[in-house]
Structure 1
Amino acid sequence: MSRLGSLGHRLYQGEVGYDFVGKRKIWYGVSILITITAIVALAVQGLNMGIEFKGGAVLTTPKTDVSVSQVQEEAEKASGHDAIVQELGSGGMRIQLSGLDTDAAADVKKDLADALGVQEKDINADLVGPSWGEQIANKAWTGLGIFMFLVVIYLAIAFEWRMALAALIALIHDITITVGVYALVGFEVTPGTVIGLLTILGYSLYDTVVVFDSLKEGSKDITKQTRWTYSEVANRSINSTLVRSINTTVVALLPVAGLLFIGGGVLGAGMLNDISLSLFVGLAAGAYSSIFIATPLVADLKERDPQMKALKKRVLAKRAAAAAKGERADEATAGGPQDARDVSDGDAEAAVVGQRRQTTPPGGGRGRGKRR
């Protein structure tokens, strides 16, 4: 078995673990800081909306020896509008011009053909009206709202309302971070971006549901025992699915990284940039929120329940009693009492991350049960 597989098995069995829930305030602080940065970027720089939303024309030229800066200069001179020019992997140019109607686009196409030394028929022109872009934006918001509503209803039925609320907050967290990155880097927002956003929402939800399912199974009849608090069971659920979450995220990020850095960066494919950036950022944010945000939020909400509060008191009382017995033994053998206040509530929660193996007593227990 590989080291990662061995670690995954030990995490699943509860033999080792990391206290994600106990350090939840750190993760909340990191998420709040990132979210505020994203919101500030949106407020200051805004989104670079593509012509699909603003209206205009996209001209694609065949292979040419003219530089990008020269093509941009010629396009702006012919149209009178700002132009966005991108070199394609085939050697051609993709020129975006906003605010052009059909007649103006035809004149620009003719002027560009003369300036670039190519046939006018070889330049492909796609026109987009602003009303069509507005319809696309409205449908995207409608689809997002319906998706969120159905997600909350499903999770509330399949699990409970606390998990539905935590999953909704995690999804909003992922969308905000992804959109904020678009504002920071200045990438265009196109229908491809919308497709990528909806895709990452499904992936983030899948990763969250995996942890929630483990938590639901682990917390069944939790009030009938006095060994673990709800937060500790939640932490064990995160650890038991941690390697699985890492594996699925890495496997998903590798092809997306290929699309972003090779397809978009080297080959210059514009549509690949639009989809791959939203996927890359969203997948990473979704994996983070499933582990560090969604489940700790559920634990916070659940610990406010009177039954969970009573359970926590019983668990801590049992541990305090066990610690007191150990202190009396230490006092008898070592000649000095230990302070029972050393075992605080926070220490008790942080100390129990996973199961701990009990050491074998001297003699390995041999001879037990024998009758003389």
Structure 2
Amino acid sequence: MSTTDTKKQSFANRLYTGQISYDFIKHRRMWFIISAVIIGLSILVVLLRGLTLGIEFQGGTDFQVPMEVTETTVDDVRGHLDEFSVEDLNPQVFSLGGEQIRIQTRSLSSDELATTRGEIAQIAGVAPEDVTSNVIGGSWGKEISRQGIIALVVFTVLVMLLIAVYFRDWKMSVAAIVAVFHDLVVTVGVYALVGFTVTPSTVIGVLTILGYSLYDTVVVFDKIRENTRGLEETNHTFSEMASLATNQVIVRSLNTTFIGVMPVLALFIAGSFLQSGPLADLGLALLVGMIAGAYSSLFIASPLLMWLREREPAMVEHRERIERRRARSEAKAAHRQQLHEGELATAGVAAGDASPVSPVTPGERRVRRTSSTRAERRKGK
């Protein structure tokens, strides 16, 4: 293929055919270090700042009051809450659509509950009976948290078994779960950093991104399996073919992530602008998780799988056999090059031994013709 034809090809096609590629196994150490730093910082942020848990997890009181919602309503209500007679409410205010406000506080006694309901009614300009309240006990939140941890463990085990059975390779299960763990820790770290409240919407978002991350990783692994089928009969190592497979799905992964992030970003912006807690919580979890999932599938799961597979005895033997074969080919090529250079040198020496022929100018030719003509005339006389 000519250079002009190569330039006309798209970037994605050149990646797919291997004309240009990024060596993932060669740069794996750099990406592993970057990922380890990100995970370390996320854990450090969680330990130092902690997570802001919603009342669904730590217990509290939830008030809902009918009220026309404008751009400044939520901020106005927050300002009034600071003047309430009940101290240390730790309030959180959200809008529910355009005609209702939701206020969450710590657990309140019966007297504190009645007082707070009356003051909320005054802010909204309604009767106290119009303010609904729901008390959530701390034991219920602990039970939900415990069930969530159990569900996460069961999910991890089942996913590892499914991937191991589907790909018939337990190393793919390990690489996929490491990538999922990375996405989970990064999402939790971002939540702790920005101070968003962990709510059931957050849990939904986290479960969604775990599925998305696994989907992206499985796509990469499926291409790797396709490229490495019958590897023993080729002149390529596992890392070379796996790196080519990862390059071939880069554009697809980026396009999928971009298309998925756009509506999620809109959801997050809308939730933040409308000051709707559940929308913002869900949007942030999905936004961070989808970006982290695309990164981990390419720069964590794939290089980790290559590293694990290259340590297998069969792969070590295959790689050494290829290296010996390539070394012999390079030696033969170097020998042919030396022979070719020697032939050129011999031809040059032979050409140098020949007597040089001086160029004859037109004037010398005329003189020689004249002399020859005179000599012939003398002979004729």
* TM-score category, normalised to shorter length: 0.7 to 0.9
Residues 327-346 of structure 1: pairs in structure 2 closer than 5 A: 327-334=334-341
How far is 1:330 from its partner?
A: 3.3
Question: Structure 1 residue 296 and structure 2 residue 296: aligned?
Answer: no
For structure 1, the 5+ residue unaligned runs are 336-372
Residues 60-79 of structure 1: pairs in structure 2 closer than 5 A: 60-61=64-65, 62-63=67-68, 67-75=76-84, 77-78=85-86
User: Which residue pairs with 2:186 in the alignment?
Assistant: 177
**SS of match in other structure, 1:177:** helix
User: Which residue pairs with 2:275 in the alignment?
Assistant: 268
| C-alpha contact 1:78 1:112 (8 A) present in aligned 2 | no
How far is 1:249 from its partner?
A: 0.8
| C-alpha contact 1:55 1:133 (8 A) present in aligned 2 | yes
Following the alignment from structure 1 to structure 2, what is the Cα–Cα distance between the partners of residues 99 and 7? 58
CA deviations 1:319-345 (Å, max 9, x no partner) are 22222223223334456xxxxxxxxxx
**SS of match in other structure, 2:163:** helix
How far is 1:85 from its partner?
A: 3.0
Aligned Cα root-mean-square deviation (Å): 2.3
User: Which residue pairs with 2:3 in the alignment?
Assistant: none
How far is 1:241 from its partner?
A: 1.1
| C-alpha contact 1:54 1:133 (8 A) present in aligned 2 | yes
User: Which residue pairs with 1:311 in the alignment?
Assistant: 318
How far is 1:71 from its partner?
A: 2.2
- The amino acid across from 1:186 in the alignment is G
User: Which residue pairs with 1:338 in the alignment?
Assistant: none
**SS of match in other structure, 1:99:** coil
| C-alpha contact 2:86 2:112 (8 A) present in aligned 1 | no
User: Which residue pairs with 2:367 in the alignment?
Assistant: none
How far is 1:183 from its partner?
A: 0.8
Residues 270-289 of structure 1: pairs in structure 2 closer than 5 A: 270-289=277-296
How far is 1:78 from its partner?
A: 3.1
2:222 to 213, 221, 241: 213
Q: Of the two, which has the highest radius of gyration? A: 2
- The amino acid across from 1:255 in the alignment is P
How far is 1:115 from its partner?
A: 4.5
The range that moved more, 110-119 or 49-58, is 110-119
2:159 to 148, 151, 157: 151
User: Which residue pairs with 2:233 in the alignment?
Assistant: 224
1:12 to 12, 16, 22: 16
- The amino acid across from 1:297 in the alignment is L
Following the alignment from structure 1 to structure 2, what is the Cα–Cα distance between the partners of residues 108 and 216? 62
Question: Structure 1 residue 97 and structure 2 residue 102: aligned?
Answer: no
More relative contact order in 1 or in 2 (CA 8 Å, sep 6+)? 1
For structure 2, the 5+ residue unaligned runs are 1-6, 343-381
Residues 11-90 of structure 1: pairs in structure 2 closer than 5 A: 11-61=15-65, 62-63=67-68, 67-75=76-84, 77-78=85-86, 80-86=88-94, 90=98
**SS of match in other structure, 1:195:** helix
Following the alignment from structure 1 to structure 2, what is the Cα–Cα distance between the partners of residues 80 and 173? 36
Going from structure 1 to structure 2, the CA distance change for 1:147 and 1:127 (only over 3 Å counts) comes to same
Identity level (%): 40
User: Which residue pairs with 1:242 in the alignment?
Assistant: 250
- The amino acid across from 1:41 in the alignment is V
How far is 1:126 from its partner?
A: 2.9
Following the alignment from structure 1 to structure 2, what is the Cα–Cα distance between the partners of residues 5 and 145? 46
The range that moved more, 85-94 or 22-31, is 85-94
| C-alpha contact 1:88 1:267 (8 A) present in aligned 2 | no
CA deviations 1:246-300 (Å, max 9, x no partner) are 1111111111000111x11211111011111111111111111100000111111
Question: Structure 1 residue 124 and structure 2 residue 154: aligned?
Answer: no
Question: Structure 1 residue 134 and structure 2 residue 146: aligned?
Answer: no
**SS of match in other structure, 1:78:** coil
How far is 1:57 from its partner?
A: 1.4
Aligned residues: 331
Going from structure 1 to structure 2, the CA distance change for 1:221 and 1:47 (only over 3 Å counts) comes to same
Instruction: Tell me the TM-score normalized by structure 2.
Output: 0.81
Instruction: Tell me the TM-score normalized by structure 1.
Output: 0.83
| C-alpha contact 2:77 2:123 (8 A) present in aligned 1 | no
Following the alignment from structure 2 to structure 1, what is the Cα–Cα distance between the partners of residues 88 and 37? 41
User: Which residue pairs with 2:348 in the alignment?
Assistant: none
| C-alpha contact 1:84 1:97 (8 A) present in aligned 2 | yes
- The amino acid across from 1:229 in the alignment is T
Following the alignment from structure 1 to structure 2, what is the Cα–Cα distance between the partners of residues 192 and 101? 27
Following the alignment from structure 1 to structure 2, what is the Cα–Cα distance between the partners of residues 303 and 321? 22
How far is 1:242 from its partner?
A: 1.1
Going from structure 1 to structure 2, the CA distance change for 1:295 and 1:102 (only over 3 Å counts) comes to farther
- The amino acid across from 1:222 in the alignment is L
How far is 1:202 from its partner?
A: 0.5
| C-alpha contact 2:268 2:284 (8 A) present in aligned 1 | yes
**SS of match in other structure, 1:96:** strand
How far is 1:49 from its partner?
A: 0.5
How far is 1:138 from its partner?
A: 1.3
How far is 1:89 from its partner?
A: 6.2
**SS of match in other structure, 1:67:** helix
Following the alignment from structure 1 to structure 2, what is the Cα–Cα distance between the partners of residues 151 and 85? 38
User: Which residue pairs with 1:112 in the alignment?
Assistant: 120
How far is 1:158 from its partner?
A: 1.2
